[in-house]
């Protein structure tokens, strides 16, 4: 029998490297510290080597959750979050997160191993065969494939720059299995690596655009500032706070911009949302898009009075997307806000007192109306009673990260739980997508080192629930509270035909806390707001993975939470 011999041509003289190491070196050179992923062919050894080289490799139970973790890591840090998957099915599992990242403008790179190009392109049925690059392209900002080890440096540099420059988004990087094992001269390999210089260059707004924006703002009798998650992403917190305070204009934070200035700030108009949207005459959007979440800038929500919009956005094509923008201000948010502040330096008159007075009166009225509902200690709990307890938790711990998904559980928590610091609230974002919960919770814990409170509808939790094992495995300080109302929106629907349950309902009285116990975490049940508060306090104090099954009245919720109006209605039914 032949004994296989290993050819050692110039090995004595020549030091070699390979694809595995070049990828790791390229990532490290560009400051990547963490990879979120799921192992398998052809990336298992790569993950081991990355871990050995000091990169933190966080293994999930499903790629969608790893992808969501990478995406939110990108949002929190302004560095692209990396998700690593196997080919075809693993890649597809990660793709939802990649598309969601792109929609939400989060910088993320999905790196997937892929099968042999020669076989894939001839469609000869390779293991996990799929033309991944072509499939990823329409769902992300950019997609690249690296075929030669010598191109790894440039490939990773392009991916990083594409993810974070301009409007951030998702990038796909296709790495065929053969690439990992390709060998090349180590010195040439080192030279081929690229450190991306100034990956997200400042984009300075034109002085004429700044002047126009200030003129429109000055002309306002009833101005309003809307802060979007782009403003939170920008990490220009001090400049934005100064702009809002110097202008004296009421501001409305979008969901993930909550806390950029505290929700308790005297200028916050969150509790008078309908009033300010309807009655304002000039609206300055900072990193907020006029999409469905703002009723496209028109219609009933915005009232009858004509509006003029000033819009700050890094993407020129965002302007006039839905309605005319009177003063487009294109540039990065930090530079735009700084330029506006410069322009205001020579003196600025606060908005008319009858406007700010009217906003304050409406807001005080709404807050007073809500207060007793949030203090109820009813059993079974309703959403308001339970959220009143969690609101106090965050008030007492403004550094904690809040993850939130569901329908009623989302909409009511958003309006109830005040945020005090920037980038502490992460949720379903532009799409209202279920399934971000545990991925976001893991990344929030890892990237910030702070305690995480995940407030989850029972349906919402189910989309990523298996990651409680991941949370236990990495011993993350995550407290999950499940608002268990036995179903989607409510647990009271009945199917009158046949014996199947109504399709919006779940097993009644389920004990989600037991799932956590299965992996060594703490599982608790809470049936009153007081009990819930005590349980969450204990969880956060201990830093131990905890899941609290919060029993909510199954009849308390409403269809689709606050967006029931989006459900299509038949013209026939209306007759
Ligand atoms: C990926 C995805 N699938 C389905 C939906 C539709 N959807 C919206 S909210 C929701 C769940 C709402 O139920 P739950 O999380 O229990 O919240 P509740 O209203 O009961 O508090 C679903 C399935 C979605 N938004 N995203
Ligand atoms: Mg529910």
- Residue 1 pLDDT: 41
Q: Closest Cα to atom 25, ligand 1: which residue?
A: 433
Distance 557 CA to ligand 2 centre (A): 8
Q: Looking at residue 5, what is its pLDDT?
A: 46
Identify the pLDDT of residue 8: 54
Q: Write the DSSP symbol of residue 404.
A: E
**Average pLDDT per consecutive 10 residues, the chain (575 residues; last block may be shorter):** 48 87 98 98 98 98 99 98 98 98 98 93 91 97 98 98 98 98 98 98 98 98 98 98 98 98 98 98 98 97 93 98 98 98 94 98 97 94 98 98 98 98 98 98 98 98 98 98 98 95 98 98 98 98 98 96 91 70
| pLDDT for position 7 | 47
Atom of ligand 1 nearest to the CA of 463: 1
Instruction: Report helix angle 383-396 to 408-416, nearest 10.
Output: 50
- Name, in order, each residue with C-beta under 8 angstroms of 83's C-beta and a sequence gap of 6 or more: 35, 36, 37, 63, 66, 67, 69, 70, 71, 94, 97, 98, 108, 109, 110, 111
pLDDT at residue number 572: 87
Q: Which residues pair with 110 in a beta bridge?
A: 83, 172
pLDDT at 571: 87
Q: How far is it, in rounded angstroms, from Cα 390 to Cα 394? A: 6
H-run or E-run covering 76: helix 63-77
Provide the pLDDT for residue 3.
46
Judged by its nearest atom, the ligand closest to the C-alpha of residue 96 is: 1
Of ligand 1's listed atoms, the one at least distance from the Cα of 96 is 1
Peptide bond into 490 cis (omega under 30): no
DSSP structural state of residue 268: B
Per-residue CA distances from 432 to 41, 101, 267, 287, 553 (Å):
33, 12, 27, 18, 24
Residue 416 CA to ligand 1 center (angstroms) comes to 19
């Amino acid at each position: 029998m032949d004994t296989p011999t290993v050819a050692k041509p110039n090995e004595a003289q020549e030091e070699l490297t390979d694809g595995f190491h070049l990828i790791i070196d390229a990532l490290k050179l560009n400051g990547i510290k963490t990879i979120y992923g799921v192992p398998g062919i052809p990336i298992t050894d790569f993950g081991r080597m990355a871990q050995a080289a000091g990169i933190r490799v966080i293994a999930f139970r499903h790629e969608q959750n790893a992808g969501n973790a990478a995406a939110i890591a990108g949002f929190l840090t302004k560095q692209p979050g990396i998700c690593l998957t196997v080919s075809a099915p693993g890649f597809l599992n990660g793709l939802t997160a990649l598309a969601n990242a792109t929609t939400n403008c989060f910088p993320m790179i999905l790196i997937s191993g892929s099968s042999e190009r020669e076989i894939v392109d001839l469609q000869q049925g390779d293991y996990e065969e799929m033309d991944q690059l072509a499939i990823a392209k329409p769902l992300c900002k950019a997609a690249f494939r690296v075929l030669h080890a010598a191109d790894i440096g440039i490939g990773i540099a392009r991916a990083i720059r594409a993810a974070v420059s301009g409007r951030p988004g998702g990038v796909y990087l296709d790495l065929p299995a053969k690439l990992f094992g390709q060998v090349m001269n180590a010195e040439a390999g080192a030279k081929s690596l690229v450190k991306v210089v100034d990956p997200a260059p400042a984009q300075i707004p034109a002085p004429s655009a700044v002047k126009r924006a200030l003129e429109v703002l000055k002309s306002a009798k009833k101005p309003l500032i809307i802060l979007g998650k782009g403003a939170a992403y920008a990490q220009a917190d001090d400049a934005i706070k100064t702009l809002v305070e110097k202008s004296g204009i009421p501001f409305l934070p979008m969901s993930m911009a909550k806390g950029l200035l505290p929700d308790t700030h005297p200028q916050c108009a969150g509790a008078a949302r309908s009033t300010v949207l309807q009655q304002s005459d000039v609206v300055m959007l900072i990193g907020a898009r006029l999409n469905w979440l703002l009723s496209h800038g028109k219609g009933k929500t915005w009232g009858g009075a004509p509006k003029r919009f000033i819009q700050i956005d890094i993407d020129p094509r965002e302007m006039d997307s839905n309605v005319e923008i009177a003063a487009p201000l294109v540039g990065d948010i930090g530079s735009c806000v700084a330029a506006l502040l410069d322009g205001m330096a020579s003196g600025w008159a606060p908005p008319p007192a009858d406007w700010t007075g009217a906003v304050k009166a409406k807001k005080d009225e709404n807050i007073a109306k809500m207060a007793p509902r949030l203090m109820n200690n009813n059993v079974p709990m309703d959403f308001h009673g339970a959220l009143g307890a969690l609101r106090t938790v965050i008030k007492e711990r403004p550094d904690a990260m809040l993850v939130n998904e569901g329908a009623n559980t989302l909409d009511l928590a958003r309006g109830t739980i005040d945020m005090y610091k920037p980038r502490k609230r992460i949720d379903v974002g532009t799409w209202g997508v279920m399934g971000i919960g545990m991925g976001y919770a893991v990344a929030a814990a890892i990237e910030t080192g702070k305690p995480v409170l995940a407030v989850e509808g029972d349906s919402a939790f189910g989309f990523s629930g298996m990651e409680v094992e991941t949370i236990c495995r990495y011993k993350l300080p995550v407290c999950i509270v499940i608002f268990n109302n036995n179903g989607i929106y409510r647990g009271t629907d009945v199917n009158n035909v046949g014996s199947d349950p109504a399709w919006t309902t779940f097993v009644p009285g389920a004990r989600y806390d037991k799932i956590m116990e299965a992996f060594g975490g703490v599982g608790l049940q809470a049936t009153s707001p007081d009990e819930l508060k005590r349980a969450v306090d204990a969880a956060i104090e201990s830093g131990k993975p905890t899941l609290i099954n919060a029993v909510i009245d199954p009849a308390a919720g409403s269809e689709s939470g606050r967006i029931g109006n989006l459900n299509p209605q038949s013209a026939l039914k209306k007759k």
